[in-house]
Amino acid sequence: MRTVPLDRLPGARTGEGDEPDARDLLDLLPDDAPLAWVRRGDGIVGWGEAVRIETGGPDRFAEADAAWRRIVEHAVVRDEVRLPGTGPVAFGSFAFDDESAAGGVLVVPRVVVGRRAGQAWLTTLTPAGDLGAPPDPGAVHAADEAPAPGAVSQADGALTAEQWGLAVSDAVERIRRGDVDKVVLARDVTVTAEEPVDARWVARRLADRYAATWTFVVDGLVGATPELLVRSSKGLVTSRVLAGTIRRTGNDEADMARAGILAHSSKDLEEHEYAVASVAAALMPFCSSTNVPDVPFVLPLPNVLHLASDVTGVLGPDEPRPSSLELAAALHPSAAVCGTPTAAARDVIRAVEHMDRDRYAGPVGWLGADGDGEWGIGLRSGRVSADDPRRVRIFAGCGVVAASEPEAELAESEAKLEPMRWALGIRTH
């Protein structure tokens, strides 16, 4: 495996004042098992499946992590760049629930192209004992345009909107009688297209419109998450927590007023506090120090406003350090996607959602040879069906507390479904 620097990405914009664009990377993806993790101009993309690690059940993270360590131990690596994302890389996505048949996967691509802070690189994987000539940068070029899926239609998933509202009422009742403090309920919608859905086409549209999020493609899961579960780099750990949401109006003055309402909403602040506390508690055993903000900030996205907090930490001195995947496993599921207490909230989810979340709200991201990497929460996402690539299940979830109202939660879920609906070609507001 060898990594060499690239002077520039093929097809990248070079005009004066141009900012790096995620499309510079996404436009390189062919249809050969495309993989992506990009935000703004930085990130990595890969293609050509060299190794695939599939796991399942409650030990899916540990089994995948151990398998990756074995692969790295036997790899011969020449890395001339030495930045996060260079050298051997595995892309991964994992099911939300231990009992889900979706399990988990790590995919090692044959070719990786990345860019970070203006430096681009190319990594190629070759058979053992055959280092051969260095990778040829001239072999990397923009791929053919991904085809559009044609006309699309949508239908209710496991529950209708009315049935899902009743599920919210059920959850609120359980909270008020003390069974659980907070629970996050998700709903799904099935989208059917005229032609097979190409995840590259969806990802490019998401990256264009939601540049501040992390756009990902892994094993048929495609989305643009605003929530970073964990980044681990050189001993420093970061987690961006989102909980508490209000829909944008499209009017700047009105949205500013809504941001003020969100920042002072007792219901949303309570929901956010549970989520931040769960992340801080999960990181504490691994870190010698952590920093938890006293108050959240308001994160604006094109469709919604979120309460957000960046929790940071320094890993302890013990060796070996935990990998980013091990940290992601410890953090999953946070109160932002499950609830509080975790076990009780998961029981409520299983009782009232009436669906398998698949890999929605599970960790998705990448892992390097040294264990560092970035893992987001698979939100604002959909999974292209392996059986029928014209079908995509898209998802949205909302945090429910004692003060929640079914109508408001349904409206919030509609706002969170908007990115994937738009990316698939469904007209939105």
Residues identified as active-site = 182, 227
Pairing label, strands 373-377, 42-55: unpaired
Burial of 75 (0-12, 13-18, 19+ CB in 10 A): middle
Can you tell me the distance from the alpha carbon of 101 to that of 325, in angstroms, rounded to the nearest whole number?
A: 20
Can you tell me the distance from the alpha carbon of 269 to that of 274, in angstroms, rounded to the nearest whole number?
A: 9
Give the largest CA-CA distance in the chain: 67
Can you tell me the distance from the alpha carbon of 204 to that of 210, in angstroms, rounded to the nearest whole number?
A: 10
H or E stretch covering 263: helix 252-263
CB 310 within 8 A of CB 236: no
Can you tell me the distance from the alpha carbon of 189 to that of 225, in angstroms, rounded to the nearest whole number?
A: 18
Closest CA to 341 of 173, 184, 182: 182
H or E stretch covering 313: strand 304-315
Closest CA to 52 of 100, 93, 3, 96: 93
Q: Which residues pair with 394 in a beta bridge?
A: 189, 382
Residue written as token pair 């999960």 = 282
Grouping H, G, I as helix, E, B as strand and the rest as coil, residue 288 is: strand
Residue written as token pair 């999020």 = 213
Closest CA to 373 of 33, 37, 10, 148: 37
CB 91 within 8 A of CB 50: no
Burial of 290 (0-12, 13-18, 19+ CB in 10 A): middle
